[in-house]
Amino acid sequence: MSQEGLLGLWGLCSATVIYCTVHVKTSAVDSVQEKREFLGDKYLEEGPEGNDATKSNVAPIRVAFRHETLCQELELLTKARPSSPP
C-alpha cells in the first residue's frame, strides 16, 4: 500500500504527519544543539510560540489548533480522574 493509501486509511493528512514527525524528532534527538538545529531555538515553548515554521514546516495555525486541542483533552482527563483514591 502506498503512503497516500495509509494516510487515507488512518484519516491523516500530510500536515498531521509532519506535525507528528516534529514531536517524534523532539523525543528522538538527544542533544539540545540538534533539537535547535531541526526545530528552532524556541522548541521548548508550548504551542505556536515554540514553532519555527521554517524549520518544522508546520503552519502556526495548525500548531495552535493542536495545542488548544491537547489542553482541552488534558482538562477533560483531569476532571474525569477522581480527586482521591477510594
pLDDT in tens, the chain (86 residues): 455 555 555 566 666 667 666 666 666 666 788 878 878 889 888 888 988 888 888 888 988 998 898 889 888 888 887 766 65
Residue corresponding to grid cell 523525543: 27
- Is pTM beyond 0.85? Reply is no
- 78, 71 contact by CB (below 8 A): no
HSE-up of residue 6 (Cα within 13 Å, Cβ side): 6
Return the C-alpha cell found at 50.
515554540
Return the C-alpha cell found at 58.
508546520
**DSSP 8-class letter at 48:** G
How far is the C-alpha of 71 from the C-alpha of 39, rounded, in Å?
A: 22
